[in-house]
Amino acid sequence: MKSVQENCSSSTASEMIDLEDQRKMSVFGRDKNVQVDWKDLTVTAEVKQANAGCCSKQTETKTILSGCTGSAKSGEIMAVMGSSGAGKSTFMNALTHRNVETLTIKGSINVAGAALKDDISKISAYIQQDDHFVGALSVREHLDFHADLRLSKESAQTRKETVDRILKIIGLDEIQNTIIGVPGLNKTISGGEMKRLSIAAEILTDPPIIFADEPTSGLDSHLALTVVKTLKALAANGTTVLCTIHQPSSEIFNEFDSLLLLTMGRTAFCGPPANASSFFAEVGAPVPANFNPADHFIREISKFKDLETGTSDRDTNETRIGQICDKYNDSKYASAMKNELIASNSGDKMKLMIKASKKFRPNPFYAFWKVLMRGMIAQYRDKTLAAIKIVQNLGVALIIGLIYLRPARPVQPYDSNDVFNSNGALFAYVCSFSFNYMFLVVFTFPRMAIILRREYYSGLYQLWTAIMADMLALVPFTILMPLLYAAITYFMVGLNPAAGSFFLQWLTLFQIAFCATGYGYLISALSPSVEAANAIASPLMLPMLIFGGFFLQSDTVPKYFIWIKYLSWFYYGSENLYSAQWENLGYCNTEFSDENTANSVVANADNAKCEEFYGAGTEYFSGDSVLKRFGYEPDNIERNIGIMFALGIGFRFIGYLILSFKYRSKA
């Protein structure tokens, strides 16, 4: 792995974006001449009143954007600026038609004169503020994955050449084999490299429009300039680039071809930055000499201007901002901009472009295969994570094995204590497996779901292919680990030595892991974050455990809860584990053995063996008597196998339905 110093050299490489590289970017012959217009754009949201009390449904309509009109042109990079809360993110969301479920959008948003709504995602890329990657992949593998899906109709050679070229353009060629890493878990590539990697994946198909939400946040000024220059180079090649940005340096600000200033949901200016300086001079707020114009504009349209010195207050500022917006609306700059809006049309050009974008959509089975392979790498490549998972499983197996250690089996038959202990070991199996495997998913899947959601929104694949593939990637682990686990505990605890019994134990442990991971997916799908998933996981697991039949008599359970018993894999899993153990095996009942009862013990081979090991009067009891105590029936083994498969699949399916509902407003 390269040192930080070595990695720094790649950022300088990205500055060497020459015209030749720019020219090469449009290799897919896409028509990129599209102008994005918005007219009288008003966005509102229903907001619950804080003083409305817990049960009140009293809401008010909040206007987030009000009557905004503007235009972003092909071949230009536009800076969308405004102070915090001005409405920049809402503006980007409205244009990209993402995260708009709770918003009411009025006015028109046209691309080349046509209203696209959801279809805008087919001809645009959205570089989001926060970067999410599968950390186990290398930089190159990440781009190869995106190239394989986004350019699946192109030849392997074209895909490779495209990735090579983009790596060079974006300045990541020198770290292409470096593992991306997971923040907080292991070493990662730098923040600037992550940002450029996000951009690289989005520009593989050379999209006509790029939306970038705060692409420079968290970067130092040098890296921020590199990122903006990269976006500018794309614009120079015909792409329409809209980019929200906070406090750009003068150098960065100079890179922008046009500027949109938003304040309190209104437009304070839209047009070339040079005109902005003229406009602010006309409204009595000229840019001071040797002052960063961006800082000046933001300050002038901020509600918080001069609050700290006491020379202004909120009301005065709001009135002043309202006047600036009104003056802009009546200005020659606004008229010039409105004259350039493209008249609404039938959208024939866009229909052709959207049709052409189909060549960038992969076959679902190919996508499934690619996501599965990536999921396998994510699960098994990271040695630290793999080691943690193995040590966790083996550690629990060893602890249970040591607590219930009984290596004497099969020489010496069980006595009553052994029955108690082996039942305890089986109970520990069910619980440890259920919790371990559920949390394995609850800790990892919510993070992966963010990536899947983004890629799904970017049109990389259909949701079912990705979710199924990702779920399948964990299955080899849930098959192999129970084998290792069963082998260790089996011999340490001295369980039923018959091969059939061992096999059924292994199968049952796999099925418990399969159900628990399925339940983990369901919980993760229900939760908005990793933290929420972790918080609700244990309370949701508890009823499954209690209804497993260990601590509750079914006939005393209130009728309205009985259905939980039928969803509890603890119940089916324990019945199969206990049946595997006791179906063909008995024990010597040492609890009641007594010299005085010796005469009542029937003479047979089993009883004789018990008396040989545990003294006269010790009687042999069949395993059925143990199963009866728990109400378990060996005849149910096949039924339980079927039900556990159905539960594991069912939990996953419901999880998938929840996610598809949550992601329904796909952009």
Ligand X SMILES: Nc1ncnc2c1ncn2[C@@H]1O[C@H](COP(=O)(O)OP(=O)(O)OP(=O)(O)O)[C@@H](O)[C@H]1O
Angle formed at CA 248 by CA 242 and CA 252, multiple of 5 degrees? 80
User: Measured between alpha carbons, how far apart are the two ends of the chain, in Å?
Assistant: 37
CB of 641 to ligand X, least distance (A): 47
CB of 47 to ligand X, least distance (A): 5
Q: What is the DSSP string of 519-547?
A: HHHHHHHH-SSHHHHHHHHHHHHHHHHII
Encode burial over 386-395: b for 16+ CB neighbours within 10 A, e otherwise: eeebeeebee
CB of 42 to ligand X, least distance (A): 13
Q: Among 437, 9, 69, 461, which Cα is nearest to 192's?
A: 9
Q: How far is CA 163 from the centre of its chain?
A: 24
Strand pairing partners for 179? 138
What does the alpha-carbon distance between residue 635 and residue 579 come to, in Å, rounded to a whole number? 9
Q: Among 306, 342, 332, which Cα is nearest to 110's?
A: 342
Contact positions with ligand X (CB under 6 A) in 33-92:
45, 47, 62, 64, 82, 84-90
Contact positions with ligand X (CB under 6 A) in 541-560:
none
User: Residues for the chain: how many in total?
Assistant: 667
CB of 373 to ligand X, least distance (A): 37
Provide the 3-class DSSP secondary structure of residue 78.
strand
Closer residue to ligand X in complex, CB, 82/520? 82
What does the alpha-carbon distance between residue 39 and residue 108 come to, in Å, rounded to a whole number? 5
Closer residue to ligand X in complex, CB, 82/623? 82
CB of 653 to ligand X, least distance (A): 30
CB of 70 to ligand X, least distance (A): 15
Site map (CB under 6 A) of ligand X, residues 92-121, x = contact? ----------xx------------------
Strand pairing partners for 267? 262
Provide the 3-class DSSP secondary structure of residue 15.
coil
Contact positions with ligand X (CB under 6 A) in 508-527:
none
Residue pointed to by tokens 């989001």:
128
Task: Report how many residues bind ligand X under the rule CB under 6 A.
Answer: 14
CB of 232 to ligand X, least distance (A): 22
Closer residue to ligand X in complex, CB, 147/260? 260
* Positive or negative torsion for Cα 113, 119, 124, 130: positive
Site map (CB under 6 A) of ligand X, residues 635-654, x = contact? --------------------
CB of 40 to ligand X, least distance (A): 18
Closer residue to ligand X in complex, CB, 49/84? 84
Closer residue to ligand X in complex, CB, 67/85? 85
Closer residue to ligand X in complex, CB, 98/142? 98
Closer residue to ligand X in complex, CB, 70/482? 70
Contact flag: residue 483 with ligand X (CB under 6 A): no
CB of 557 to ligand X, least distance (A): 43
Contact status, residue 125 vs residue 203, Cβ threshold 8 Å:
yes
Contact positions with ligand X (CB under 6 A) in 191-230:
none
Closer residue to ligand X in complex, CB, 47/336? 47
* Positive or negative torsion for Cα 135, 139, 144, 149: positive
Closer residue to ligand X in complex, CB, 89/534? 89
Closer residue to ligand X in complex, CB, 68/440? 68
Spell out the SS3 assignment of 83-123. Answer: CCCCCHHHHHHHHHCCCCCCEEEEEEEEECCEECHHHHHHC
Provide the 3-class DSSP secondary structure of residue 258.
strand
CB of 322 to ligand X, least distance (A): 17
Binding site for ligand X (CB under 6 A): 45, 47, 62, 64, 82, 84-90, 102-103
